[in-house]
Amino acid sequence: MSAPFNFSAGPAMLPAEVMQQAQEEFLNWNQLGISVMEISHRDPVFVRMAEQAEQDLRELMAIPENYRVLFMHGGGRGQFTAVPQNIAGPEDTVDYLDSGIWSEFAIREAKKYVKHVNVVAGAVTTEQGKAIAAVNDWQLSPQAAYFHYCPNETVDGIALHGVPDVNVPIVADMSSNILSEPLDVSRFGVIYAGAQKNIGPSGFAIAIVRDDLLGRAQGNTSTIMDYTVQAAENSMYNTPNTFAWYLAGLVFQWLKRQGGVAAMGRLNQAKAAKLYDYIDQSSFYRNPVHPAYRSMMNVPFLLADEALNDAFLAQAEAAGLLGLKGHRFVGGMRASIYNAMPMAGIDALIEFMREFERNA
């Protein structure tokens, strides 16, 4: 079997080039004779690497000067707590769009820290599939401390394309779509992402915070989750996940070599279009999402005959196509096709799907 293609939703595949480089320098980083994991985060060599990673991310996303980039603990869900604690007061109102499973988890967490969590709208079922209520139908609160949404619902495969026109600071959970295409960061108050889909190892997170939103943390906010403290300490209030930071830095350099997010966006578009087109022309497979709300990163699909699911997954795995099982909440299949997935992976998947249908 040739090298497998890994369609896992997360932790997801990382660029082979990055993994190879990490392996080569694993025992001897920067000619120091030790691993990057064995050096103090205060060592100037480490600090230089950490600053370069931030610089590269800033360049890739064209992050304006008035935003702080924070390297945080606790993955995506850690930020579900950090956002309400840092950006809202306990008596405030905050708005959440409920477009899928990750939004729901974020809402549940916000309710612990903020009194009024207003769900502005949710997912809707249309004749053309699952979709998100139109912006005109959202019940926005004029006084909300922020508006939170998840532009790419990883489990449901539903995406909200384009930034919604909302007059309060916009907070976005971009765990599964950060760096996948160009983005106007200046439209946002906070962008955050757990790292394990498009950035690096799990347990790590990046928060990009507009600086006027600092200084508002609720008094009982855990210090390691306090944006203001982490901004003041350059994300080194306590020991950061140094290995994850390093690996993220390698991924950022890899992205720059690929031509940045503009090039990634074109490739991601082409990858997703090819897979959706194949699914749409088939009566054996189907995608349950309205075409205008389809994710470019996570492509769920169902077999017309669900009794074949186990056979599909077993044969796919035998063919080196890994991680295609849909999330346990929704079933079916899901192909996660983040930045590191090459077009060859899409071609191999489509070929397998065609072959499976022929033999069924």
Considering the complex, what minimum distance in angstroms separates the CB of residue 283 from ligand PLP?
A: 30
Based on CB atoms, which residue is closest to ligand PLP, 176 or 352?
176
Annotated catalytic, 197?
Answer: yes
The distance of closest approach from Cβ of residue 127 to ligand PLP in the complex, given in angstroms and rounded to an integer, is 27
Determine which one of 102, 138, 245, 254 is catalytic: 102
Residues binding ligand PLP (CB under 6 A): 10, 75-77, 102, 150, 154, 173, 175-176, 194, 197, 202
Told to judge if 102 belongs to the known catalytic residues of this protein, a careful annotator would answer yes
According to the annotation, is 196 in a ligand binding site?
Answer: yes
Query: Could you tell me the two tokens for 183?
Result: 């983005």
- Residue 355 CA: distances (Å) to CA of 284, 302, 319, 350, 359: 12, 16, 11, 9, 6
Nearer residue to ligand PLP within complex by CB, 46 or 294 = 294
- Is 162 marked as a binding-site residue? no
- The answer to whether 147 and 140 are in contact (CB under 8 A) is yes
With beta carbons less than 8 A apart as the criterion, state whether 161 and 294 touch. no
> Closer CB to ligand PLP, residue 46 or residue 293?
293
93 in a labelled binding site? no
CB of 71 to ligand PLP, least distance (A): 14
Q: Is 102 annotated as a binding residue?
A: yes
Of 76 and 169, nearer to ligand PLP (C-beta) is 76
Nearer to ligand PLP, 175 or 235 (CB): 175
- Give the span between the Cα atoms of 298 and 278, in whole angstroms: 15
User: Catalytic pick from 56, 95, 173, 226?
Assistant: 173
Q: How many C-beta atoms surround the C-beta of residue 250 within 10 A?
A: 22
The tokens describing 274, both together, are 């090819």
193 beta partners: 206
Q: How far is the CB of 360 from ligand PLP (least distance, A)?
A: 31
Using alpha carbons, select from 41, 23, 45, 19 the residue that is nearest to residue 32: 45
154 carries a ligand binding annotation: yes
Is 277 annotated to bind ligand?
A: no
Rounded Cα distance, 340 and 353, in Å: 21
Count of CA atoms in the C-beta half-sphere (13 A) of 171:
28
Minimum distance from residue 197 beta carbon to ligand PLP (Å) = 6
Question: How many whole angstroms separate alpha carbon 49 and alpha carbon 40?
Answer: 12
| 235 Cα distance to chain centroid | 20
Asked about 43 being catalytic, the answer comes back as: no
Annotated binding residues for pyridoxal 5'-phosphate: 76-77, 102, 154, 173, 196, 238-239
Please give the positions annotated as active site: 102, 173, 197
